[in-house]
């Protein structure tokens, strides 16, 4: 059997599934007519956007979700993020996962000085009268539930918008929200992370 692989720019408001028991949920299958047996590798929650990998090869999922592959996110946060908060993110912070306190691993994090220029979200973030916002890049190899959101909140800058821009060497680039692109495979795209 020849497997097929896709990259998708998951828009805000969609869940990373093809079937669900919940009514009125927007699904990945609503975006395009993917082949039977297509599944998402990893997930982005309903409020998150960005790069999502799809495949008909279930064996790929374990590799991509492993700690060997970097995932980079751009987070728009409430307030002007400080260098102290960036340093805390880099060192790892305590978050709650399944009612347990969890210490995140050290990660790459830096302030993004210019607006990354993403297309406007389908639901407005908020009005400017509520104060300034800023953008931060966070690269992790873990995948705890809502981890990046919990990390920015832990340092005092709650996430307002979250976009995954990279998985391994594969980048979101100019892929429009809702767009999908078939690719040959993931070999060479998903390298082992740097030590």
User: Could you list the active site residues?
Assistant: 45
Nearest Cα residue to 54 out of 72, 75, 66, 36? 36
CA geometry: angle at 74 spanning 71 and 80, to 5°? Answer: 140
Q: Give the list of residues 6+ apart from residue 21 with CB closer than 8 angstroms, or none.
A: none
3-state secondary structure of 59: helix
Alpha-carbon span 63 to 9, nearest angstrom: 20
Residues linked to residue 10 through DSSP beta bridges, in sequence order: 50
Alpha-carbon span 167 to 186, nearest angstrom: 10
The single-letter DSSP state of residue 93 is -
Sign of CA dihedral 74, 78, 84, 90: negative
Q: Which two tokens stand for residue 43?
A: 């997930």
- The half-sphere exposure of 58 on its side-chain side, counting CA atoms within 13 A, is 2
């Amino acid at each position: 059997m020849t497997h097929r692989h896709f990259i998708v720019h998951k828009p805000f408001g969609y869940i990373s599934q093809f079937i669900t028991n919940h009514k009125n949920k927007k699904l990945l299958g609503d975006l395009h007519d993917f082949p039977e047996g297509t599944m998402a590798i990893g997930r982005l929650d309903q409020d998150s956007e960005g790069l999502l990998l799809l495949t008909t090869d279930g064996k790929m999922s374990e590799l991509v979700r492993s700690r060997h592959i970097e995932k980079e996110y751009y987070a728009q946060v409430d307030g002007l993020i400080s260098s102290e908060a960036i340093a805390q993110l880099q060192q790892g912070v305590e978050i709650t996962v399944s009612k347990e306190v969890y210490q995140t691993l050290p990660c790459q994090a830096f302030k993004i000085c210019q607006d990354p220029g993403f297309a406007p979200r389908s639901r407005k973030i908020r009005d400017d009268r509520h104060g300034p916002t800023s953008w931060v890049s966070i690269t992790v190899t873990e995948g705890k539930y809502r981890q990046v959101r919990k990390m920015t909140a832990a340092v005092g800058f709650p996430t307002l918008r979250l976009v995954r821009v990279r998985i391994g060497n594969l980048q979101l680039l100019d892929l429009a929200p809702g767009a999908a692109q078939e690719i040959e495979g993931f070999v060479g795209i998903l390298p082992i992370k740097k030590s």
